[in-house]
Structure 1
Amino acid sequence: MTPQPRDESQALNTRAVVALVIAMGLVGVSFGASAPLVASILEERGFSEYYTGAVSATLSLAIALLSPFAGTLVARLGPRWITLTGIILQGLCFSALGLALAWHEHLLFPVRFLLGLAAAFTFIAAETALLRGVQPYQRGRAMAAYGTVLGLGYGGGVLLSAPAYAWFGLWCFALVGLLAVIVAPVCRWGLKSLPRPKPETDSSRRRGRHLRWRLVILGLFGAVIFGVLDNGMTGIYPVEGHRLGFDRSQTLNIVGVMLIASVLAQPLCGVLADRIGALRVLAGLGLIGLAGAITTGWLAWSGAGYGPNLLGFAIVGLAGGGTYPVCLKLIGDRVRSEALPKANAAFSAAYGWASLFGPIAGALMIDIAMRTG
C-alpha cells in the first residue's frame, strides 16, 4: 500500500527532531538505570523474585493502563507540552526511587507507577510528532535515530548504574533528576517550532477515532518484543545472574551489552526498512531472534561462563532492538495523521502489557527452575 504522506501542517524542522530525540534519551537513561539496579538491590536485601518482579512490573502496568489517557492528551493538547511534562516527571520520579529505597521498599510501587505515566507521556508525544512530521522515505531512519538514542540511554544507564551506586550509594538516583533539570529547558527551546495542534473539526475528530486495526496489528509486534526485552529481561535477569554465579557487575554488564546490541541494529534496520520495506526486514529479524533465544536458553542450561552469555544476549539484543523502529515506521506508513495518537497509544500499551508479564513470567520460571534443580 502507498505510505501515508507527511502532515505538512505538522512538519518538523531539525531542531524539533533533535529535541524529541534528546527527550527519549532521558527516558532511556531513566529506564536503564532503574530496573536492573533496583532488582539487584532488592535481591541483596533478601526480597523474593516475586517481589522484585512485581516492582519491575509496576512501571509497565502504568504504561499499559495510562497510554490511552496519554494518547487523548496528545491529540487535544499537541506533543510539545506533553513531552515536557513527561521529562519533568521522569526526573522527579527517578529521584524519588532513592528515597523509597531509603525509607521503605513498599514505596517503590507508587513511584514506579508514576514513572510509567511519565514514560507514556514522552513515548506517545514524541512518536506522534515524529511520524507526523517527517517524510515517508525518512521515517525508518528517523525512528531508528529515536530508538538508537533511547537504547543508548538505556544501555548507558545499565552500565553506569553499578559504579554510580558504588560511588554515591542511594544518592545516585538524584543524578537522573539533575539530568532532567538540564534536558527540560533544552527540549523546551527545541520544541518551540513544534506547531500548535489544529482545532479539531467534526471530520478530523471522526478520523482520529477511527483506526483500522488490521493495518497496525503487525506494528504492535515490535512493541511486544521490545517490551519483553526492555523490562522482562533487564528487570529480572539480575536475579537469575546472581543465581548462576555472576556478581552484580557481571549481570548488569550482560544486560547492558544486550541493550547496546539492540542500539547497533537500529540504524541499519531503519535504513533497510526505508529501502526494501518494513515487512522484509521484520521477517529477517524474526529468524535472528529465534536463533538468539535458543542460544541463550542452551547456555543457561549448560552452565556456560560469562563470555558465552554475553554473546548470546547480544544476538537477542540485535533482533529485538531492530524491530522497534521498523514497526513504528510501519504504523506511520499505514495510519492517518489524525489517528496517530491513538495508534501510538496502542503501541505504548502493547509495550506496557509485554513488559508487565515479562518480569512476572521470568520470576515464575526462575522459581520453577530452582525447585526442580
Structure 2
Amino acid sequence: MIQAALARRERVVGVTVAISSIAVAAMALGLTFPLIGLILEGEGWSRTAIGVNSAMAPLAILITAQFIPLWVNRLGAKKVILAAVLTDVVLLVALKAFQNYYIWLPIRFVMGVAVAALFVTSESWINQVTENHNRGRVMALYNTVLSAAFASGPLLIWVVGVDGWTPFVAGAAIMAAAALPMAFVPVVAPVFEGRPSFSVWRYLWIAPTLAGAMLLYAMIENGSTALMAVFGRRSGLPDAEAVTLISAVVFGGMVFAFPVGWLADRMDRIKLLVILAAAATFLIVLLPGLMDSRPARLLDLFLWGGAAASIYTVAMAIQGERFSGADLVTANAAFGTLYGFGALAGPMVLGASMDYHDPEGFVWAMVAICGTFTVFTIVRQRLKRG
C-alpha cells in the first residue's frame, strides 16, 4: 500500500514538473514569436519575408524530430529537456545580439530544433507516467495549461515593449525559469526502455488514424492562427472584430479540453475522435451563413475551436494508451514531424484557397481538411471491423 501510494505520488510530481516546465517555456515562446514578427514588420520586410523567417521553426521540427528518440535514449529525458531550454535561452539573447534578418534564419532554425526536443520529450514524459484510466484528463490539463501559457506570452509585449534589449532579456529569463522545476524539484524521470520497434516514417503505416489526427490539428491550428483574422476582414469585419474570431477559437479549445478529456476516459477514444472531427466539419460549414451575426459567429467558432483543439487531446491519450517506452518517444517524434509539416502546409493550403475564392475559400479548405479526416477514420474503422 505504501509502495502504491509512493508510486502514485511520484507520478503526480512527475506530471506536475513536466507540465510546469513546458508551460513556462511556452510563455517565453508566446512572447518571442509575435515579437520577431513585429520587429521585422517595423524594419519594412514584406509579409512573405516574415513568413519565410517564421517557417524556420516548423521546418526544423519537420526535419529533426526523427532524431529525438536517439537523443533521449543516449542522454535521458531530463538532460534533453534541460539542454533544449538552455539552447533556447542562449539563442533568445543571440537574436538581439545579431539583429539581422539573414542571421535570424539559422538562429530560428536551431531554436526550432530545441523546441522540438523540448515538446516531444516533455509530452513523452507526461504520457509515460500517466495511468490510462485518467490519461484523457491529464492530457486535457496539459493542453489547457499550454494554451493559456502561449496566450499569455503576447500580452507581455504590453509590459516589455518591442524596442531594445528588454523583451529579449525578458524572454530569455522566462525561458531559463522553465529549467527550475526540472533542475531543483526531486523527481524520478521516466526511463524509456528498449529500442523502438518502428521508425518515425514507419509510424505513418502503423498508426495512420493518429497520424491523420495530428496532421489535421496542425493544419487547423496554424492555418486559423495565420488567416482567421484575414478571413474576418475579407468578410467585412473591422480589424478589432476580426481578431475576436481567433479569440473565440482559442477560448473554445481551453474550455472544452477538460470535458472532452473526461469523456476520453469513459468511452472509446477512436469513436470520440470521429465525433470531434465530424463536429468540426459541420460547425465550420455553418460559418459563412453566420458572419452577419456577432453572437452566432462567435458561438460557432467557440464550439468549433473546442472540437478542433480536443482532437489533439484525444489523439495524445490514444498515443499513450497504445505505445510505451522507446516506442512512445518515437511515436511522439512522429507527431512532431507531422506537426511541422502541417504547420507549413496549413497556412499555404488555406491561403491558396482564399486566393482562388476570397474569402469563402478559407472555410471550404477547412471543410475539406476536417471532412477528409472524418471520412478516412470512419472508413478505416469499418474496414478493421470487417
TM-score range for the pair, normalised by the shorter chain length: 0.7 to 0.9
- Shift in Å, 1:316: 3.0
Range moving further from structure 2, 50-59 or 348-357: 50-59
1:216 is aligned to 2:207: yes
- C-alpha separation in 2, matches of 1:93 and 1:312: 40
- Shift in Å, 1:176: 2.3
Name the structure 1 match of 2:246: 255
Choose from 147, 167, 172 the match for 1:172. 167
Choose from 43, 53, 56 the match for 1:55. 53
Choose from 116, 119, 124 the match for 1:123. 119
TM-score normalized by structure 2?
0.77
1:358 is aligned to 2:346: yes
Choose from 256, 268, 272 the match for 1:265. 256
Which runs of 5 or more structure 2 residues have no equivalent in the other structure?
A: 1-6, 362-386
1:348 is aligned to 2:336: yes
Name the structure 1 match of 2:219: 228
Name the structure 1 match of 2:195: 205
SS at match of 1:205: coil
For the 8 Å contact 1:79–1:125, the answer to whether it is kept is: yes
1:89 is aligned to 2:80: no
- Shift in Å, 1:54: 2.3
Letter in 2 for 1:329: A
Name the structure 2 match of 1:315: 303
The number of residue pairs the alignment matches comes to 353
Pair 209,372 (structure 1): closer, same or farther in 2 beyond 3 Å: closer
Name the structure 2 match of 1:189: 184
Pair 113,12 (structure 1): closer, same or farther in 2 beyond 3 Å: farther
For the 8 Å contact 2:229–2:245, the answer to whether it is kept is: no
**Highest relative contact order (Cα 8 Å, sep 6+), 1 or 2?**
1
Letter in 1 for 2:208: I
After superposition, where does 1:80-159 map in structure 2 within 5 Å?
80-97=78-95, 103-158=99-154
- C-alpha separation in 1, matches of 2:96 and 2:262: 40
Letter in 1 for 2:108: R
For the 8 Å contact 1:35–1:234, the answer to whether it is kept is: no
- Shift in Å, 1:273: 0.9
Taking only the aligned residue pairs, the percentage that are identical comes to 23
- C-alpha separation in 2, matches of 1:366 and 1:162: 30
Name the structure 1 match of 2:64: 66
For the 8 Å contact 2:56–2:109, the answer to whether it is kept is: yes
Letter in 2 for 1:51: A
Task: For residues 102-142 of structure 1, give each alpha carbon's deviation from its aligned partner in whole angstroms, at most 9, with x where no partner exists.
Answer: x3334442232222112211121112222222212122122
Q: What do you get for the CA RMSD once the two structures are aligned?
A: 3.6
Pair 293,38 (structure 1): closer, same or farther in 2 beyond 3 Å: farther
Letter in 2 for 1:176: G
Range moving further from structure 2, 324-333 or 360-369: 360-369
Pair 175,271 (structure 1): closer, same or farther in 2 beyond 3 Å: same
- C-alpha separation in 2, matches of 1:36 and 1:298: 32
For the 8 Å contact 2:21–2:180, the answer to whether it is kept is: no
TM-score normalized by structure 1?
0.80
- Shift in Å, 1:269: 1.5
Task: For residues 152-179 of structure 1, give each alpha carbon's deviation from its aligned partner in whole angstroms, at most 9, with x where no partner exists.
Answer: 1122224x155346x4546334322111
Range moving further from structure 2, 41-50 or 104-113: 41-50
For the 8 Å contact 1:24–1:122, the answer to whether it is kept is: yes
Task: For residues 44-65 of structure 1, give each alpha carbon's deviation from its aligned partner in whole angstroms, at most 9, with x where no partner exists.
Answer: 6654443333233221111111
- Shift in Å, 1:224: 1.6
Letter in 2 for 1:29: M
Pair 58,241 (structure 1): closer, same or farther in 2 beyond 3 Å: farther
For the 8 Å contact 2:196–2:330, the answer to whether it is kept is: no
For the 8 Å contact 2:38–2:162, the answer to whether it is kept is: no
SS at match of 1:13: helix
Letter in 1 for 2:334: A
Which runs of 5 or more structure 1 residues have no equivalent in the other structure?
A: 1-8, 199-203
For the 8 Å contact 1:145–1:267, the answer to whether it is kept is: yes
For the 8 Å contact 1:16–1:191, the answer to whether it is kept is: no
For the 8 Å contact 2:77–2:190, the answer to whether it is kept is: no
Choose from 282, 285, 293 the match for 2:276. 285
